[in-house]
Amino acid sequence: MPSKYTALFLVLLSTTVSAEETTKRYLVPDDVICEVKAPQNTMFCTDTDGKPITGQMVKYFEGTPVRLYNVKEGQLDGPGQSYYTDGTLKSEIPYLQGQINGVMKKYNRLGKISEEIPYQNNQKEGVAKYYNDEGALITQMVYINDEAIGDMFIYDGTHETPLYRLKNHSGTILSGTYTYQTAADNLKTETIPEIIIAALNKKCLDFQPQLSSSPCAAFYNQNPECDQAWREENRKAVRAYLKSCSKNGQ
């Protein structure tokens, strides 16, 4: 039996079609054939006779619509949506002439926003935001030509002040600061030393996702991908810093 979400989706869909009678619906994969074409890697869709389609493509899973795309002359064009199998909205993707252009939004099963990523011609371009399960901002970063470049902010989901502010270039941290809470309940910001930056890049330390009460507690080790050779060579330097900042934080 269709869920209330499915019924609502079908009502909305039928309303859209009734208001715009010229829109033709295509069922995936029965009515259409889609393939990715170079050089832009855009999807191109035709009917079973090989003619480019214009209308709406709908894909079902066990009777529930899970994808809805608008197509113009064979290319995805206009807002596209995907849904979880219970009918909850999963993503909103804006297309223009076959490519993602605009802010793509993703949602978790509770309906909370999980990602907001701006795109230009299928590439990430602009300020991207990532959220936790409750919909609170946890990471904000800048993309240029599909690469993470510039300032990256990491939050704990409860404080407006970012725990970390990092200079990032294509996944490599160049420098940064971190914020912790002093014994007097004040927030204090410190520069991350080079040895800790190197340890983070080598995945031998990770970020503490919660506001800490010690400058040392801002970093912790739980990453199995650590570069073991680097760790062995720099173990003493990392320990010396952590021991030093532990004393300073008392």
Any domain includes 176:
no
* Torsion 110-114-116-119 (CA) sign: negative
Cα–Cα distance list, 134 to 39, 107, 117, 209 (Å)? 39, 11, 18, 15
pLDDT number for residue 15: 47
Number of domains in the chain: 1
Choose among 166, 173, 172, 122: nearest CA to 146. 122
Q: What angle do CA 231, 237, 241 make, to 5 degrees?
A: 120
* Beta pairing, strands 102-107 & 137-144: unpaired
Distance CA 243, CA 221 (A): 15
pLDDT at 65 over 80: yes
DSSP structure class, residue 213: S
Domain span at 111? 1-126
Any domain includes 92:
yes
Amino acid at 134: E
Helix/strand/coil for 89: strand
Residue identified by tokens 């009917």 is 47
pLDDT number for residue 61: 92
pLDDT number for residue 246: 61
Any domain includes 85:
yes
- Taking the complete model, does pTM exceed 0.75, yes or no? yes
pLDDT at 84 over 60: yes
Distance CA 75, CA 62 (A): 26
Any domain includes 111:
yes
pLDDT number for residue 9: 43
What average pLDDT is seen over the chain? 87
Any domain includes 186:
no
Q: How much is the average pLDDT of 212-222?
A: 78
- Summarize pLDDT for 97-154 with one digit per residue, the tens: 999 999 999 999 999 999 999 999 999 999 999 999 999 999 999 999 999 999 999 9
Distance CA 119, CA 143 (A): 9
Any domain includes 29:
yes
pLDDT number for residue 21: 53
pLDDT at 5 over 70: no
Any domain includes 93:
yes
Percentage of residues in the chain with pLDDT exceeding 90? 66
Helix/strand/coil for 240: helix
